[in-house]
Amino acid sequence: MPNSLFHNMRHAGLISALVMAPCLAINAGVVSAETIQAQLTKAPNVPAPITRTQPATVVVNLEASEWVGPISDDNNYEFWGINGMVPGPMIRVMVGDTVEIRLKNKSGSKQSHNLDFTKVSGAAALVNAEPGKEAQITFKAANQGVFVYQSSTAAPSNIQHVLSGMHGLIVVEPVGGLKPVEKEFYVMQSEFYMKDGKKNDTLVYSEQKVKDADASYIVHNGHMTALVKVPLRSKVGETTRWFYGNAGINFDSSWHVIGEMLDRVWPAGNVAKAPLEHIQSTLVEPGQATIGEFKGEMPGTFVSVDHSLFRTEKGALGLLKIDGPTNPALFKGL
């Protein structure tokens, strides 16, 4: 369908009406006993694990905005994101919860902005807000796992929104929560496409580079050195759980931690199935997320990468520093 038609439909209100109405109708009359405010966190931080066993109504307050900020030490970019961060905040709920999304679009925005939670609800769940306005939807968290929420490409009718930072992760835990671990991290791989420029320039989005799959940056957590300048940290003997997403849109991510094995991996974040065990690298396709965890056996600095290793030069890496005593029974130099 041509972009112009999507544009006209959006301004006629048809996309919002068609997408939002089924979501509201499906959940009409569904009210959980308890209403709570969602704890939202900036990557790499993760909201507190779910410990309750009864569904609740979870209110999620989000604000879309547009701002210029650093994509690397050399250049800036005009981000479009949620709650002033890229990726957007992590949301954590329980299967069976009623989720109430309240999306504000900052008054200074030039664009309308929307977010799509269809993967969580299993039915249409899109919320769209015009500049200076607020919109709400309510849906049931029907599917457990970890999912990418992002701007829909149909309304507005281009992919610049996703590629400028309109994406994040939502975790839907099983009843009673996931098995406890010592540390949890939130990492999102994102692609950025810009016209060429000089050092200290604010670079401009390039649709042609998107079509050519010629990414200017492929980064973890919104900046080329976000997890290098401020590494993740754990201790020997601790199990770290990673919620790892790929916003896309052109490249798969082959996630690997150099120097470690992933003890358990839930492909596509599907916690309803038993995990795979003893995995070196795991494929995370565009628009998907996965859960991986491992126990740190030795101290050192370990590198989390997309194993298409040329992408490390574009920013697709981060560091994990594990502190503690060495274990000669596992490894020692000769």
Per-residue pLDDT tens for 36-48?
999 999 999 999 9
Which pLDDT score is estimated for 327? 87
pLDDT at residue 94 greater than cutoff 90 = yes
Question: What CA–CA distances, in Å, run from 92 to 48, 70, 218?
Answer: 8, 28, 26
Which pLDDT score is estimated for 157? 54
H helix runs in 250-309, sequence order:
none
User: Mean of the per-residue pLDDT values for the chain?
Assistant: 89
pLDDT, tens only, 196-212: 999 999 999 999 999 99
Which pLDDT score is estimated for 7? 39
Its pTM stands at 0.89
Local confidence band at 328 (pLDDT 50, 70, 90 cut-offs): confident
Q: Give 31-79 as a DSSP string.
A: --SEEEEPP-B-TT--PPPP---S-EEEEEEEEEEEEEEESSSS-EEEE
> Distance between CA 122 and CA 115 in Å, rounded?
15
Considering the segment(s) 183-323 as one domain, its CATH architecture is Sandwich (2.60)
Report the candidate in 303, 246, 294, 238 with the shortest Cα–Cα distance to residue 269: 246
Q: Per the omega criterion (within 30 degrees of 0), is the bond before 22 cis? A: no
Local confidence band at 32 (pLDDT 50, 70, 90 cut-offs): low
pLDDT at residue 10 greater than cutoff 80 = no
pLDDT at residue 27 greater than cutoff 80 = no
**Under CATH, what is the fold of the domain 3-173?**
Immunoglobulin-like (2.60.40)
Handedness of CA 119, 167, 225, 240 (dihedral sign): negative
Which pLDDT score is estimated for 14? 33
The helix/strand/coil state of 117 is coil
- The reply to whether domains 3-173 and 183-323 share a CATH topology is yes
Q: Per the omega criterion (within 30 degrees of 0), is the bond before 44 cis? A: yes
Least-confidence region, from 7-21, 79-93, 186-200, 253-267: 7-21
166 and 88 Cβ atoms separated by less than 8 Å: yes
Report the candidate in 134, 147, 136 with the shortest Cα–Cα distance to residue 98: 136
Local confidence band at 135 (pLDDT 50, 70, 90 cut-offs): very high
Which pLDDT score is estimated for 330? 85
pLDDT, tens only, 287-327: 999 999 999 999 999 999 999 999 999 999 999 999 999 98
> Distance between CA 22 and CA 139 in Å, rounded?
10
pLDDT, tens only, 63-81: 999 999 999 999 999 999 9
Q: Where are the domains of the chain?
A: 3-173, 183-323
Which pLDDT score is estimated for 333? 75
pLDDT at residue 266 greater than cutoff 70 = yes
